[in-house]
Amino acid sequence: MASNPPEVLVGKRVEVLDKGWIELVDMLPSPATGVSGDLAIVNAARVSFMGESKGPEKDKKLLFYLLRNHHTSPFEMVEFKFRVRAPLVTWWQWARHRTWNFNAQSGRYSPFEENDFYVPDVWRKQAASNKQASDGEVDPATNDDLTNKLNEFYKKGYDLYEEALKAGVSKEMARLFLPGFSVYYTWVAKVDAHNLMQFLRLRMAPDAQYEIRVYAQAIYDEFFKPALPWTAEAYEEYILKSPSK
């Protein structure tokens, strides 16, 4: 059977990293329509024939045909809108996917909180064979020492940020004291199912940076797959197993 309308998914929030999260704000088709995402894709493909469901077996067969043969426009009829809290080191890569629509929190209007910084669980080593990747972990003693130094660095920067605010400096300038790559931002992000699959293919890959990989995996496991089970099944069969396509 196709998925049920995802009432339980809209409003769901999943924690990611140490202080981040992903929340599904809305979907198209709306749960209020009673039409599942998989069926919306099938209905869009049959628009030339003014047809809708022909039963689960034929509907699923058509959806698999569409994805297998790269007929992607029907998948653009399904959209996901998220609120995401992630460190800038993650957004730096996410925003490169220009098929998403974004609106971001502004540090010009809202002050940052003292704990709005990403602290990794482990410190990864530089990969010897890939200049832009990591491989393995540092030893436990070094890991603890680096984490302590990072927290001290955050505290110092935040203390200077507060000092500047108290001195009357504008929020847009006071934030220069904050460690840029690690500060958490909240964004609203919207994407259709076709372009989301391309994002997931790249960002769930083993060579993707860990910080964005865990967000992509959470989106796939907690939202995409429950909302579009037929699409996810076809995606795993035809896209993830053929990463060059």
Report the catalytic residues: 203
The two three-digit tokens of residue 155, written as one number: 């505290």
Q: What is the dihedral of CA 109, 113, 114, 120, to 10 degrees?
A: -110
DSSP secondary structure code for residue 30 in this structure: -
Q: Which two tokens stand for residue 195?
A: 């372009």
**Quick check: 88 and 183 in contact, CB under 8 A?**
yes
29 upstream amide cis, omega within 30 of 0? yes
Select from 145, 127, 129 the least CA-distant residue to 137. 127
Give the separation between CA 92 and CA 89, rounded to whole angstroms: 5
